[in-house]
Every structure is written in structure tokens, then in C-alpha cells.
Amino acid sequence: MGFFDKVRQALAKTRGLFSGIAQLFSFQGKVDQKFLEELEKRLYLADVGTYATQEIVSRVRQAYQDKEVTGEMVAFVKAQLKEMLTAPSQGIAFAPSGPTVIMIAGVNGAGKTTSIAKLAKHCQNQNKKVMVAACDTFRAAAVEQLTIWSQRLGCEIVKNAQGSDPAAVAHDACEKAKARAFDVLIVDTAGRLHTQTHLMKELDKIRRIVAKQIAGAPHEVLLVLDATSGQNAITQAEMFKKTIDCTGIILAKLDGTAKGGAIFGVKQKLSMPVKFVGLGEQLDDLEIFDPEEYVERLFED
Ligand SMILES: Nc1nc2c(ncn2[C@@H]2O[C@H](COP(=O)(O)OP(=O)(O)O)[C@@H](O)[C@H]2O)c(=O)[nH]1
Ligand SMILES: [Mg+2]
């Protein structure tokens, strides 16, 4: 299955909500206040979020106020939605030489470790030599989880005992990645609540260590957000953005949620691109996010 079919399957629930928007455009009559209010309501129900919803409604008002409702408007709204999601780059921006360091952050249970395993596979598929660093030293189970994935992937892992300094693990991993010419180093971090200041500081410390060790690192800082948490994911992302400069988002658990519309709010409010989407629990369930396809699939019957 390619992005097309996988996204189609994953978006079944969200798509149900978007069909309400598509239906609206088959109504007879003019684009009046009532129509615009109805559009607003349906976008909102699809969890597109207040900010992105206002934006779309205002664009439709500007372009179509007092005109007849036509099928062409679906194309217009789709184009607006696509434009909202389009980013200068998708996927990983690899370093021209030396190891590309990818730091992963996010709250507990968001899907970080699973996404790392999938991302490692994604890089291996491009013939990259991948190392992972178990910098979530907070829980023993976290190191174990990453170890199991690394064995399954046949990729190198750098780890230390539970409770050890995560920045030291990061340091060690950078040295090894450089010395042994790894192409990619993916750094797992402890899940923290965006309200836990000391843990947020620790994240910043890992970042600084990595930056000192490898030129241009971290090349990507990806924030993993749980799509099922909808608008709450945006609040989290705002806090993380304040502490570390995230380069993009992995939107995990997009499969089986009705809150896929939250992707618009994330992109609009944070001006951070969604680079990957997680579509399941298996190694192959990660796809580079494609705004065109995504919006098209949302509006399918
Ligand atoms: N359905 C689904 N489950 C996922 C996805 N990504 C992660 N999970 C599940 O979410 C749970 C938490 O994931 P984990 O990677 O341990 O989160 P972490 O605490 O952020 O490292 C696990 O049960 C994963 O299997 C996804 O894209 N889809
Ligand atoms: Mg984890």
C-alpha cells in the first residue's frame, strides 16, 4: 500500500466529518451569512480548529459572497486547505556530509519511540546507516523498548543504565556516530509534560551537547504529536516550540481517529510543517506527509 491507500484507510473517521463540508457545496442558493455560518460549523466539527476555520471561511467570503453555490467551490476550499498545509520541505533534510542528527521530543505516550523505529526503517530504506540513542533514561522500560526495536531493525543502539544522564548518552552517541561514519543518528528523549520546566531544560541540554559534537546538529528536531488528542496537541506544541526550535512534526496515530482535521490547526498556528504521519503500530506505518494527497483523500466519498 502506498501513501494513497494507507491515508485513505487511516482517514476513514475524519473523512466522515469532511463529507459534511463537501455536501454543503451541493446546496442550492447563494453564499450568504447563513451558508458561511454553516461552513464554519462544519469545519469546526471536523476539528480544523478556530484559527484555520476562520481563515478558510473568510477566504470563501471574499471570493464568493452573494454568488451562487457551485461545485467549483469544493475545488476552491480544497486548494485553500492544501495551501495551508504546504511546506518548503517534507521528510528529512539530510546533512550534506557526516551524521544527520534527528532529535525526537514530545509528551509521554505520544508515539516517540515507535516513530523512531519507523523513521530508522525509513532511513534504512534509503541505504542509510542508522544509529539510535536511548536518551529516555527516565524509565527502564523505555530503553528496553528501543533496544527491542533496534534488534528488529538491525541498527546500532547507544544506551546506558536507567537514571543515567541523558546528555551523556547523547554525547557518547555523537562520538560513536562520527567515529564509525553513521549517516543518521536518531535521539530518543524522555516524555515530558510541556509544563515540567526541569525536564524541558534537560531537552535543551541534550540539544546543546549534540550541537557541540556535530556541525549543524541537530539537523531535525521533530515533535511527535498524538493526532487523537486533537486541539490539545497544539497547546503542547506551542510549549515545546518555546523551549526547543522544532523543525517539524510527526503526527502519530492518525489512523483510526476522527481528529485528523487538527493537522490544519497545527500547521497554521505553529507554522511548523507536518513532515511525517504515523498510520499504525508497525515499522512500515510511517509516511512522508503529502498535503495534496491528504486533502484529496479527506474529500473522497
Ligand atoms: N495506532 C497507532 N498507534 C501508535 C502509533 N504510534 C505509536 N502508537 C502506539 O502508541 C503507544 C505509545 O507509543 P510510544 O512510542 O511508546 O510513545 P512514547 O512514550 O512517546 O515513546 C504504543 O502503544 C504505540 O504502539 C500510530 O501511528 N498509530
Ligand atoms: Mg518512549
- The overall average pLDDT reported for the chain is 90
The amino acid present at 47, given as its one-letter code, is D
- The closest-lying atom of ligand 1 relative to the alpha carbon of residue 188 is 21
Pairing of strands 274-278, 286-288: antiparallel
Residue 132, helix vs strand vs coil: strand
- The closest-lying atom of ligand 1 relative to the alpha carbon of residue 145 is 16
Q: Residue 122 to residues 17, 130, 201: CA-CA distances in angstroms?
A: 31, 10, 30
What is the whole-number distance in angstroms between the Cα of residue 27 and the centre of ligand 1? Answer: 41
Considering only CA atoms, which residue is closest to atom 22 of ligand 1?
A: 111
Q: Can you read off the three cell numbers belonging to residue 133? A: 540513542
Indicate if the pLDDT at residue 194 is higher than 60: no
Residue with the larger pLDDT of the pair 273 and 174: 174
Which pTM value belongs to this model? 0.91
**DSSP state letters, 69-107:** P-THHHHHHHHHHHHHH--S--S----SSSPEEEEEE-S
State the residue for C-alpha cell 498545509. 85
Tell me which ligand sits closest to the C-alpha of residue 143: 2
Per-residue pLDDT, 177: 98
Q: 99-151, pLDDT tens digit by residue?
A: 999 999 998 899 999 999 999 999 999 999 999 999 998 888 899 999 999 99
Q: 55-109, pLDDT tens digit by residue?
A: 999 999 999 999 998 888 889 999 999 998 888 778 899 999 999 999 999 988 9
Per-residue pLDDT, 269: 78
Residues with a CB atom less than 6 Å from ligand 1: 106, 108-114, 191, 224, 252-253, 255, 278-281, 285
What is the whole-number distance in angstroms between the Cα of residue 114 and the centre of ligand 1? Answer: 5
8 Å CB contact between 51 and 83: no
8 Å CB contact between 57 and 34: no
Considering only CA atoms, which residue is closest to atom 26 of ligand 1?
A: 253
DSSP tag of 85: H
Tell me which ligand sits closest to the C-alpha of residue 105: 1
Q: Can you read off the three cell numbers belonging to residue 261? A: 482535521
Alpha helix (H) residue ranges in the chain: 3-10, 12-24, 33-45, 50-64, 72-85, 112-124, 140-153, 166-179, 197-213, 232-243, 262-270, 291-298
Give the contacts of 150 (CB within 8 A, at least 6 positions apart).
117, 120, 132, 156, 157
Backbone angles phi, psi at 94, to 5 degrees: -75, 145
Tell me which ligand sits closest to the C-alpha of residue 137: 2
Considering only CA atoms, which residue is closest to atom 6 of ligand 1?
A: 111
Q: Can you read off the three cell numbers belonging to residue 274? A: 507536518
User: Measured between alpha carbons, how far apart are the two ends of the chain, in Å?
Assistant: 19
8 Å CB contact between 200 and 243: yes
Give the contacts of 129 (CB within 8 A, at least 6 positions apart).
181, 182, 183, 184
